[in-house]
Chain A
Amino acid sequence: MNESISAFLKKQLQEYSFAPVTYRKGTVSRSADGVVTVANLPGRRYGELLEFEGGVFGMAMDLYEDNVGAVLFDTAESVRAGDSVKGTDQVLEVPVGENLLGRVVDAIGRPLDGKPLIAQEYYPVERPAPAIIDRRPVDTPLQTGILAIDSMIPIGRGQRELIIGDRQTGKTTIALDSIINQKETGVLCIYCAIGQKASTVAGVIETLAAAGAMEYTVVVNAGASDSPAMQYLAPYAAASVAEYFEERGKDVLVVYDDLSKHAVAYRMMSLLLLRPPGREAYPGDIFYLHSRLLERSACLSKAKGGGSITAMPIVETMAGNISAYIPTNVISITDGQIFLESGLFLSGVRPAVNTGLSVSRVGRAAQYPAMKAYSGTLRIELSQYREAEIFTRFGSDPDPVTAKLLKRGDTLINLLKQDKSSPYSLFNEICVLIAHQEGVFMDLSAGDVKTHLKAFLAHMNRACTDIANAVNQTGKITDEQKNDLASAADAFESGAAL
């Protein structure tokens, strides 16, 4: 043991080459709330990593003629006016690689789960988005396992789909279910928590671990107690971690939970840096803050390895106001949004997706043909139901056609309800849609639909195992298979399977 230590020390000393250390030095002239002003730092660069006394690091954010505005990554207490600051000539980098899978790290890649992290490579936190020539159109679906989304608001790999809604409407649940559904699909996941309570993040990690999803997931966390700089950096670090996999031909799903808090952290930082405030006191570059982040999500061309980053940013609204500053910004940047409504959530419709306000601008092209075959008229049917439902509130007796429309719509709403952490396979999703098409549950009360749906899915999987396997593997369905499925559904309806 002692010999090996002495051999190690000898080797280190032999390999060590003495070289003079040259660096630039400035002085802290002001420090407040995680933001410092550094005077007399020569050769300063935007985004440069600065080393303060006591091993605290920060980043140069504002360059002036005679000083630098910088933000600190750690707590500000240890930095005082008069302290010296070293310019490192480096930009901030985070560890990336396969070793991060299953791990929980902070915004600068330090492990938070108490285990050592062996970094394979380092990527800068800020990286340019892929060029137009390096991209290809979105053509592969990313199944969330949530029927309401996969059927009406389909998401493609490489798409940016916003999840938007008031607090407590199930935004994070949709994101987590989407992550859970990527098991055995080869899609790797990054969950980036920004400004959240530690207990909430612990709950998320527990949910992912319980579903066996941590094996292919990296959690990047900048909590509510972390500095605004850490919260500002977290999504960019998550994007860099994702890009490592994307550049190696992998498909990655990144959840940014949430960008409202990210914008608030950036606003705080900007105001402390004395940048001029704009609308709602956000700085002038708040749009660019999110556009440059979400532009990094792309579907790369085959020449670039064919990988993709699908972004699922989350934005929280106040009282359903989607026309506020940050929501409209992110809506205009993304390729669609899933709008969750408090009213629906409280009335028991979960996931509380408002299909009228939700849209997917590119996902339809990537939808599986099997799903496309059954989901075409779903949105129209739901909107007709909503319209008819409003009229019947006035108390008039609906005619038989409207009554049937209402009953069908009501059943569809119940069929679209789904428990959390229980995503459907593609075949199960199609079976639910067949049940709706064939009117299997038309005679049941709302409460019975859920119980019978379970039995129905079990029956369909039992009766059509070969079709289930084929559909789940290929995403396609033939006319013959459609007929077989319809017959199996009829058999269930006629009570043969009950």
Chain B
Amino acid sequence: MRVCRITVPPVMTEDTYRMLCEKARKKFGADLTFERVVDDRVIAGFILETDDGMVYDLSVGTQLELLKKKMVYEEDAI
């Protein structure tokens, strides 16, 4: 049995979560089971961690962090 961790925001509905799990099973295999973690830093979207150490981060929180870094380091100022 392979365990996959999904980190989601508190606002994610049960229907959306179930749909997400189905999509993940289609992509990574039907034998997946899911561990649900709720983290408000995700804001929206989700973070999927597979058992082989790969992380697929589609969260708004991470995107905002990247946008912040881009703005701060736009001129390559360290």
Binding site for B on A (CB under 8 A): 8-9, 12-13, 16, 18, 20-26, 40-42, 86, 95, 109-111, 116-119
Which of chain B's residues have a CB closer than 8 A to the CB of A119? 76, 78
**6 A-B pairs closest in CB distance:** A21-B57, A42-B53, A25-B55, A20-B58, A119-B76, A117-B78
- Distance, CA A110 to CA B55, complexed state (A): 29
Which B residues lie at the A interface, using CB under 8 A? 49, 52-58, 62-63, 66-67, 70-71, 74-78
Kindly provide the distance from the CB of A426 to the nearest chain B CB, expressed in whole angstroms: 40
A302 shortest CB reach to chain B, Å: 32
Report the minimum CB–CB distance from B65 to chain A (whole Å). 10
Asked whether, in the complex, the Cβ of B78 is within 8 Å of the Cβ of A95, the reply is: yes
Residue picked from A26, A41, A119, most chain B C-beta under 10 Å: A119
Assess A21 versus B62: contact at CB under 8 Å? Given A26-B53, A110-B78, A119-B76: yes
- Cβ B76 vs Cβ A24 within 8 A: no
Inter-chain contacts of B67 with A (CB < 8 A): 12-13, 16
Point out the residues of chain B lying under 8 angstroms from A41, CB to CB: 53
Q: How far is the CB of B2 from chain A (nearest CB, A)?
A: 14
Question: Across the interface, do B54 and A24 meet the contact criterion of CB distance under 8 Å?
Answer: yes
Which residues of A sit under 8 angstroms from B78, Cβ to Cβ?
95, 109-111, 116-117, 119
Complex contacts, B66 vs chain A, CB 8 Å: 21
B55 and A22 form a contact (CB under 8 A): yes
Known A12-B71, A16-B70: A22·B56 in contact at CB below 8 Å: yes
CA distance A57 to B52 in the complex (A): 22
Q: Determine how close the nearest CB of chain B comes to the CB of A293; give it in whole angstroms.
A: 25
Task: Chain A residues near B52: list those with CB within 8 A.
Answer: 42
SS class, residues of chain B in contact with chain A: mixed
Give the distance to chain B from A490, nearest Cβ to Cβ, in Å.
61
Q: Which of B53, B62, B71 meets A40, CB within 8 Å?
A: B53
Q: Do B55 and A24 have beta carbons less than 8 Å apart?
A: yes
Look across to chain A and name the residue whose beta carbon is closest to the beta carbon of B60: A18
- Enumerate chain B residues within 8 angstroms of A117, measured Cβ to Cβ: 77-78
Q: How many Å lie between the Cα of A41 and that of B74 in the bound state?
A: 31
Instruction: Give 20 A-B contacts (CB < 8 Å), ordered by A residue.
Output: A9-B71, A12-B67, A12-B71, A13-B67, A18-B63, A21-B63, A21-B66, A22-B54, A22-B56, A22-B57, A23-B54, A25-B49, A25-B53, A26-B53, A109-B78, A116-B77, A116-B78, A117-B77, A118-B77, A119-B76
Residues of B within 8 A of A20 (CB): 56-58
CA distance A119 to B78 in the complex (A): 8
B70 x A12 contact (CB < 8 A): yes
Nearest Cβ on chain A to B58's Cβ, whole angstroms: 5
CA distance in complex: A343, B63 (Å): 65
- Name the residue on A nearest B66 (C-beta): A21
A8 cross-chain contacts in B, Cβ below 8 A: 71
Please indicate which of the listed interface residues B49, B53, B56 has the most CB atoms of chain A within 10 Å of its own CB: B53
| Whole-angstrom CA separation of A117 from B77 in the bound complex | 6
Q: Would A24 and B62 count as touching, CB distance under 8 A?
A: no
In the docked arrangement, what's the CA distance between A9 and B77, Å?
18
- A240 → B minimal CB distance (Å): 16
Q: B57 touching A23 by the CB < 8 A rule? A: yes
- Supposing A95-B78, A116-B77 touch, asked if A24 and B53 sit within 8 A by C-beta, the answer is yes
Query: Chain A residues near B77 (CB, 8 Å)?
Result: 116-118
CA distance A41 to B49 in the complex (A): 12
Nearest B residue (CB) for A86: B55
- CB-based nearest B residue for A119: B76
A109 — which chain B residues lie within 8 A by C-beta?
78
Taking CB atoms, residues of chain A closer than 8 Å to B63 are: 18, 21
Provide the residues of chain B in CB contact with A9, threshold 8 Å: 71
Instruction: Report the Cα distance A95→B73, complex, angstroms.
Output: 13
Residues of A within 8 A of B62 (CB): 21
Docked Cα-Cα span, A9 to B78, in Å, equals: 20
Q: How far is the CB of B20 from chain A (nearest CB, A)?
A: 14
A86 to B55, CA, bound (A): 9
How far in angstroms is the closest Cβ of chain B from A112?
12
Shortest CB–CB separation between residue A198 and chain B, in angstroms?
21
Q: Which of A12, A95, A110, A111 gathers most chain B CB within 10 Å? A: A12
CA distance A177 to B75 in the complex (A): 37
Which A residues are in CB contact (< 8 Å) with B49? 25
A25 touches B54 (CB 8 A): yes
Complex: A13 Cα to B67 Cα, angstroms:
8
Chain B contacts for A110, CB-based, 8 A: 78
Q: Which residues of A contact B75 (CB under 8 A)?
A: 118
- Cα(A111)–Cα(B76), bound, Å: 13
CA distance A117 to B73 in the complex (A): 11
Residues of A within 8 Å of B58, CB to CB, are 20-21
Chain B residue at smallest Cβ distance from A120: B76
CB distance from A387 to the nearest CB of B (A): 58
How far, in whole Å, are A20 and B54 apart by their CA atoms in the complex?
13
**Identity of the chain B residue whose Cβ is nearest the Cβ of A99 in the assembled complex:** B76
Whole-angstrom CA separation of A95 from B76 in the bound complex = 10
Q: How far is the CA of A206 from the CA of B76 in the complex (A)?
A: 29
Q: Which residues of B contact A118 (CB under 8 A)?
A: 75-77
Q: Which residues of chain A are within 8 angstroms of B53 by Cβ–Cβ distance? A: 24-26, 40-42
